[in-house]
Structure 1
Amino acid sequence: MIKLYPAASRYSANHGWLQCNFSFSFADYHDPTNMNFGPLRVFNDDFIQPGEGFGTHPHRDMEIVTFALKGQLQHKDNTGGEEVLRPGEVQRMTAGTGILHSEINSSPDEVANTLQLWFLPWEKGLKPSYEQKAYNVEATKNQLLPVVSSRIKSDEITYIHQDLTIFMASLEAGNTITFQQEVGRKIYLFVTEGQLELNGEYTLNNRDAARITDLTELTIRSHAGASFMLMDLP
């Protein structure tokens, strides 16, 4: 089953320094029918003004994955992790038994657009840790590139403490990708730019999402070009 979630259906709020868009219950937005999709607990699409961001705050027992689509985000945490996240890079933070961190748009003039995803880990009480890696953006052209996974082992892939894989892809006009899924697993798809067609009958536009269950083959086509994220979830 393919269930579409248009961008306009998300919870959105403009705080001046932050324009946020929540795909699942988070902060001021609470919907008991929209708490998670498998282990995916949070999917936030944020636009952060220059020099603004989230001051030091705590997390625990969560796997937090962050992408910068535009601009940059400076991360600092109490494990000693300190890096600037830019497009083409991915960051994973294991909150585990407890971690403190901050995220600030360190650019003096460019708005940062970030995607932050929270996943329930496969066990509680993990040791807090932080990892950031660049991925080959060219390798996302017309194919699914795994960038975060525990299922696919590679030094080029960011490890996560959950049975999942996050793929990035960019389809050129007229191209198609077919994803084969194992029986009993889920697919979450999010369009970061452009328009996609799923299995010849569902259309997703910019920032639309699809939650997919009970499907073993997904055909993804773009007539005019598109970029997207696909998650293989338990």
Structure 2
Amino acid sequence: MKKTVLHTADSRGEANHGWLHSRHTFSFANYYNPERIHFGVLRVLNDDYIAPGMGFGTHPHDNMEIISIPLEGDLEHRDSMGNVAVIRHGDVQVMSAGSGITHSEYNKNEDAPGKFLQIWVFPNKKNVTPRYDQITLDLKERHNRLQQIVSPSPDDDGVWIHQDAWFHLGRFDKGFSLRYDFQKPGNGLYVFVLSGDVTVDGTELHQRDGFGVWDASSIDIVSDSADSEVLLMEVPMQV
């Protein structure tokens, strides 16, 4: 039987350090909720605001697939592999931390904030060689359709990660509806509403709400407002 969980926007954890304002869907840093540790292999979903000219200093990661989706502004990335890059709205960045990596992320702009989603996924392989990649997407390709941004295969659309996971972004007109069919039996799907209002399998969701579905093979999405935007994250449920 289909199972679901609803995480409303105002129920998320919160950290406000002045230069950084972050909302945590799952337990992270000083926010701990034993009922919200992860959704399958989806471990972190942070909604971050970075003040102008500020950012995260160099820090380490290992054995985690880290996906960054900029929503506003320009973020400069530097890492121990020698990569220096700027990611903007429309880009997707992935970093396979694997056996170990250090990196920093800064808001490149001194006069405007940066906003991005930071997502961590447990990998299906440990201690892989660290890897960095980023792509620029055509935003028109997600109008009234789902644009794939993450997959398990380097030959597929979007960036790839060491996990049987598929992410999509979609931006919909009011009244538009679609069905999402799961890519792999046993996976779950976590829906995160970036803007607007949508109904997923009869449950009304609003901006920054999250909704998890598992033990299912498909879901139905209806856009209840103009220019609603959703992020779909299909992930294995077994860690």
- Into which bin does the TM-score normalised by the smaller protein fall? over 0.9
Query: Normalised by the size of structure 2, how large is the TM-score?
Result: 0.94
1:82: which partner in 2?
Answer: 84
- Aligned partners of 1:138 and 1:229: how far apart in 2? 15
Paired residue for 1:184, among 160, 166, 186? 186
Question: How many aligned positions are there?
Answer: 232
Check if 1:218 corresponds to 2:231: no
Mapped contact 1:152–1:165 kept (Cα < 8 A): no
Question: TM-score, normalization: structure 1?
Answer: 0.96
CA distance in 2, matches of 1:43, 1:175: 26
Correspondence for 2:43 among 31, 35, 41: 41
Equivalence for 2:129: 127
Gaps of 5+ in 2: none
Displacement of 1:4:
1.2
**Structure-2 residue corresponding to 1:150:** 152
Per the alignment, residue 160 of structure 1 pairs with 161
Once residues 166 and 153 of structure 1 are traced to their aligned partners in structure 2, the CA distance between those partners, rounded to angstroms, is 15
Distance 1:152 1:202, change over 3 A: farther
Q: CA RMSD in A?
A: 1.2
Letter in 2 for 1:168: L
Alignment correspondent of 2:65: 63
Which structure 2 residues correspond to residues 170-181 of structure 1 after superposition, within 5 A? 170-181=171-182
Q: Work out the CA distance in 2 between the residues paired with 1:81 and 1:126.
A: 18
2:101: which partner in 1?
99
Q: Residue 99 of structure 1: CA displacement?
A: 0.4
SS in structure 2 of the partner of residue 138 of structure 1: helix
Q: Which runs of 5+ in 1 are unaligned?
A: none
1:14 counterpart = 2:16? yes
**What is the DSSP-based 3-state SS (H/G/I as helix, E as strand, rest coil) of the residue aligned with 1:96?**
coil
Inter-partner Cα distance in structure 1 for 2:63 and 2:233: 20
